[in-house]
Amino acid sequence: MAAPDPKRPTYTAEAIPSDVKNGLFLGNPALDNLMSCMIAMGAEVWATKRRLHVMEAVMAQKGIEADRDRFVDLTLGPLANEAYRPVGSNFPKR
């Protein structure tokens, strides 16, 4: 995270921090932390799932046949090459 440039005015004043973050609700700080982690993790998992939904929608709209064919041609197309000759015997000597 870039440090703020002190030359750029921000029109801010010091805030009085809330103490809510220090509240212990579940009897054990580890449990409180785990609950916070679970909800944050939920947001991250959903972000990933939503990205997959977007990709699926884009693929459904645009189609991926052309890209699939390009992929297969690039990776497996060389299997069709029949012009090989051993380089140690009658391969042109240059």
Instruction: Report the residue number, 58 or 77, with the smaller CB distance to another protein.
Output: 58
Instruction: Report the residue number, 2 or 83, with the smaller CB distance to another protein.
Output: 2
The answer to whether 56 and 50 have CB atoms below 8 angstroms apart is: no
80 residue type, one letter: A
C-alpha 38: how far from chain center: 20
Residue 43 interacts with another protein (CB under 8 A)?
yes
Binding site for another protein (CB under 8 A): 1-2, 4-5, 8-18, 20-21, 23, 25-26, 32, 35-36, 38-40, 42-44, 46-47, 50-51, 54-55, 58-59, 62, 64, 67
